[in-house]
Amino acid sequence: MESAETHRAKEERGKRVAMSKVSCIVRMITMIVVMVMVTVTKAASMNYAEALGKSILFFEGQRSGKLPPSQRMKWRKDSALSDGSDIQVNKLSMDLVGGYYDAGDNVKFNFPMAFTTTMLAWSVVEFGDSMGSELKNALDAIRWGTDYFIKATKFPDKVVAVVGDPVKDHNCWERPEDMDTPRTSYYVTQNKPGSEVSAEIAAALAASSIAFRSTDASYSNFLLNRAIQVFDFANKYRGSYNLSVGEGACPFYCDYSGYVDELIWGAAWLYKATETTSYWDFVKANIQSIDNNNFEFGWDCKNAGINVLVSQKIPCGQEVADPTLLINIAKSQADYILGKNPLGMSYMVGYGDKFPEKIHHRGSVVPSLDAHPQHLGCRDGDEYFKSDKTNLNVLIGAVVGGPAEDDSFQDSRLNVAQSEPTTYINAPFVGVLAYFNKPTVTVS
């Protein structure tokens, strides 16, 4: 097998490539949000209802912590039940059990996890009415994230940024239920700030407060109050978590675009949730500081998302986007992911007749506890990683990194960039699928 160092380097490169891949998918929801609804008969196409359900189910495969009786992905079991025990506050350990593993590893990176939660919440806010029976599952997926972020922001003077030693975790190939690598907690404080991770958590909490407003008013209010607290912390104590967290952030999820975009993004969501003018004033005062030529949108750069939120309140000069064109482009991209592409392959695991079967994902590759109750240590999973056989556990709904620019795809867990799924790829796709699940949409 390749050396652990080589394997880790591949995973790091894969995550950077995955960020560029997710940009395409997230742009779909960016376009859909700004369009004008035109009612026409829906054209026969993909089974968006099936894809929607599976895209949400995927998040149950990424859960960390004590799993509920309602858990549908049965091959996953409880994991990381002592997270937070290394942080002592008033002689008591923090409880950081819960949240999501970001991708095919067993680390909880709160920066991309918060973006994931924001996008799930935005999907419900904009398109919840089109989710049908999947709305409850979508809200459950959001709550799994927000319950964890409530714990991660319990104390006003610190915000937890990462749980799990990324270097040691990436050097092992073991299922989350068995992991014995250090569960180190990395956090930011007043003296070691992390404005990007804190502001993104604030955005996630604010967006989620809107998503829960009609079904759980008490929880919604709690989320909003915590969002205000965390945003104030992010804005008052400015600095990048790259420096404060060190190897907990870099090179895995370094903030490359700076933290100002997250502060604007967080303020925009707080304005949307509260209509408090001070947040809108913050957006107006700072929005010129972002690069208008950078249209990227993902866990790092929030520029395109900010533009969408701002455009919902003010016009962009005399520019008017053609809604039919935007919808058609978004639909073509969604259909490509689901199988309408040169390879005839769905890039969502479990959807269609042909999909990736050797994805780069520890829990999916290594035998489940049901199949192999004995402990599997750090290197015990190597034989499964090296195997050319299909994964033992199907991570239904996972959208992988995807094909190369020439539409080629290698279904191999060694090919990290193409075969690794992430939560922040799936999250924006949920909203896209919900939109096209409507009975009436504009298509050519």
Residue 351 pLDDT = 98
Which CATH number do you get for residue 128?
1.50.10.10
Whether pLDDT at 187 is above 50: yes
Comparing 201-205, 226-230, 243-247, 287-291, the range with the smallest average pLDDT is: 287-291
Q: Is residue 441 part of a domain?
A: no
Residue 345 pLDDT = 97
C-alpha to C-alpha distance for 190 and 244, rounded to whole angstroms: 10
Number of domains in the chain: 1
Q: Catalytic residue positions?
A: 360
Q: Is residue 443 part of a domain?
A: no
Per-residue pLDDT, averaged over 401-405, amounts to 95
Residues 6 or more apart in contact with residue 12 via CB below 8 angstroms: 170, 251, 252
> Sheet containing 108-109: which strands, arranged edge to edge?
108-109, 158-163, 185-189
pLDDT tens digits, one per residue of 127-158: 999 999 999 999 999 999 999 999 999 999 99
Per-residue pLDDT, averaged over 302-322, amounts to 84
Residue closest to 60 by CA, chosen among 46, 79, 85, 47: 79
Residue closest to 126 by CA, chosen among 444, 397, 436: 436
Whether pLDDT at 250 is above 80: yes
Where is pLDDT greater, at 305 or 294? Answer: 305
Q: Is residue 287 part of a domain?
A: yes
Q: Is residue 429 part of a domain?
A: yes
Return the structure tokens found at 135.
């709305």
**With contact defined as beta carbons under 8 Å apart, do 231 and 196 qualify?**
no
- Domain with 394, as residue range(s), is 4-436
Whether pLDDT at 37 is above 60: no
Residue 142's identity, in one-letter code, is I
Residues 6 or more apart in contact with residue 75 via CB below 8 angstroms: 363, 368, 370, 393
pLDDT, mean over the chain: 90
Q: Where are the alpha helices (DSSP H) in 188-253?
A: 195-211, 217-236, 241-245
